[in-house]
């Protein structure tokens, strides 16, 4: 609506200016109005606004720029024809523009649909394997005569798989929060507090590695949804303990540059082959893997991290660590330092 009014207003002004230069030629006026119709069709979504603009445009030309000026007239002979032609041209243009835009949106929808189904496949896959193991182990305990040691071993397996499932579902909950932007509640948080809490939670998981973090001299406030960023860190730590063979320790390196803070999670494990680096962040690595039953897929965790970080206007990078293993670095916009006495 606003677009429509603004455009038409501007058009009338422009046409008025042009016709004051050349009094006789109101062809200018018509051309300018057709342009206005195209602009309206381009910037509004729907077809109705385009047609409305076309009709108003035609009347405006009649009112302002054809003889008699500043009045409607249908007496002059060529008028019905001009009116009809201009209306048809405007409507056609507006229809075409709208259809073009719809196609664009359709393509975008298909793209997103594809991404969702990829994600769903990855999730279903991640859930199935541990569930099978849980059912198998629990029915073995219930139905077979097992030694106490075997029972304990099976129960440990059940716990491990269930803990893994919890992490997968937590990631899924984060995804629904991120895809619904209104559910992200950003507050100014002190970065080291979130890092500290993520480390504490990570250390409750079985098989966790020691984590050493830089501390920045200044207190940095970062606007963020603390739960989600904490989740990103836990995912990155967890990836190290699950995938980085030979890793003995995790380092967190922090640096500040041009209003952004960069948080890098690094390890001294086997690293990531350069050939899969680009795929690893967008979740496509998972679907291309040859061994489809390998449970510990990186796919979901990392694509969740990426969407959380992008929802915070940051970026996630993967690369080589100065400690010999892999490095995952992400950036977040931060505020001025706070100095407290």
Partner 1 sequence: MSGKVFQKILIIEDDPGILNYLETTVSAAGYETVTATDGKLALHMVASHCPDCILLDLGLPDMDGIDIITSVRKWTLTPIIVISARSSDEDKAVALDSGADDYITKPFSSIELLARIRTALRHSLTAAENKEIGIDGCYRVGELEIDYKKLRVCVRGKDVHLTPNEFRIVALLGKHPGRVLTYKSILRELWGPSALMDNKILRVHMASIRRKIEDDPTNPRYIFTEVGVGYRIAENTQETDDQH
Q: Which residues sit at the interface with partner 1, rule CB under 8 A?
A: 162-163, 166, 170, 173, 187-190, 192-197, 199-200, 211, 213, 215, 219, 221, 226-227, 230, 252, 338, 340-341
Which of 183, 212, 202, 180 is CA-nearest to residue 321? 212
CA dihedral (192, 194, 196, 199) positive or negative: negative
| Shortest distance, position 130 Cβ to partner 1, whole Å | 14
> Of 6 and 338, which has the nearer Cβ to partner 1?
338
Q: What span, in angstroms and rounded, lies between the C-alpha atoms of 290 and 277?
A: 17
> Of 86 and 240, which has the nearer Cβ to partner 1?
240
> Of 55 and 254, which has the nearer Cβ to partner 1?
254
| Shortest distance, position 280 Cβ to partner 1, whole Å | 26
For 239, counting Cβ atoms within 10 Å of its Cβ (0-12 exposed, 13-18 middle, 19+ buried), the class is buried
Using DSSP's 3-state secondary structure scheme, residue 206 falls into: coil
> Of 14 and 216, which has the nearer Cβ to partner 1?
216
SS3 of 242-258: the string is HHCCCCCCEEEEEEEEC
| Shortest distance, position 281 Cβ to partner 1, whole Å | 25
Angle, to 10 degrees, between the axis of helix 148-179 and the axis of helix 79-143? 170
Q: What span, in angstroms and rounded, lies between the C-alpha atoms of 310 and 316?
A: 8
| Shortest distance, position 176 Cβ to partner 1, whole Å | 9
Q: What span, in angstroms and rounded, lies between the C-alpha atoms of 313 and 249?
A: 29
> Of 189 and 282, which has the nearer Cβ to partner 1?
189
| Shortest distance, position 277 Cβ to partner 1, whole Å | 28
| Shortest distance, position 179 Cβ to partner 1, whole Å | 15
Residue tagged 């079985």 (tokens): 206
> Of 101 and 256, which has the nearer Cβ to partner 1?
256
Which of 47, 31, 41 is CA-nearest to residue 4? 41
| Shortest distance, position 332 Cβ to partner 1, whole Å | 16
Task: Classify residue 62 by its DSSP letter.
Answer: I
> Of 15 and 154, which has the nearer Cβ to partner 1?
154
């Amino acid at each position: 609506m606003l677009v429509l009014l603004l455009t038409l207003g501007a058009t009338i002004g422009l046409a008025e200016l042009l016709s004051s230069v050349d009094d006789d030629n109101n062809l200018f006026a018509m051309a300018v109005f057709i342009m206005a119709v195209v602009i309206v069709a381009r910037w509004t979504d729907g077809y109705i606004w385009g047609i409305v603009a076309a009709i108003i445009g035609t009347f405006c030309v009649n009112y302002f720029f054809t003889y008699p000026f500043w009045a409607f007239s249908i007496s002059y002979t060529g008028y019905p024809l001009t009116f009809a032609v201009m209306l048809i041209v405007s409507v056609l243009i507006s229809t075409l523009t709208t259809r073009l835009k719809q196609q664009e949106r359709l393509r975008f929808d298909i793209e997103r649909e594809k991404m969702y189904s990829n994600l769903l496949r990855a999730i279903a896959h991640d859930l199935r394997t541990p569930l099978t193991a849980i059912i198998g182990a629990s029915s073995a305990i219930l139905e077979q005569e097992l030694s106490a040691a075997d029972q304990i071993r099976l129960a440990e397996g059940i716990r491990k798989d269930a803990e893994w499932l919890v992490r997968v579902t937590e990631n899924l909950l984060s995804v629904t929060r991120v895809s619904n932007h209104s559910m992200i509640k950003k507050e100014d948080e002190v970065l080291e507090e979130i890092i500290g809490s993520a480390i504490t939670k990570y250390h409750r998981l079985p098989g966790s590695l020691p984590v050493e973090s830089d501390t920045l001299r200044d207190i940095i406030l970062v606007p963020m949804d603390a739960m989600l960023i904490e989740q990103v860190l836990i995912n990155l730590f967890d990836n190290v303990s699950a995938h980085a063979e030979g890793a003995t320790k995790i380092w967190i390196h922090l640096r500040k540059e041009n209003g952004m803070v960069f948080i890098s999670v690094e390890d001294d494990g086997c690293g990531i082959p350069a050939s899969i680096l680009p795929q690893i962040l967008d979740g496509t690595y998972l679907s291309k893997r040859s061994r489809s039953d390998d449970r510990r897929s990186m796919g979901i965790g990392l694509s969740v991290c990426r969407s959380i970080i992008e929802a915070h206007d940051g970026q996630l990078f993967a690369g080589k660590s100065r400690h010999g293993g892999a490095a995952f670095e992400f950036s977040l916009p931060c505020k001025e330092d706070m100095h407290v006495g």
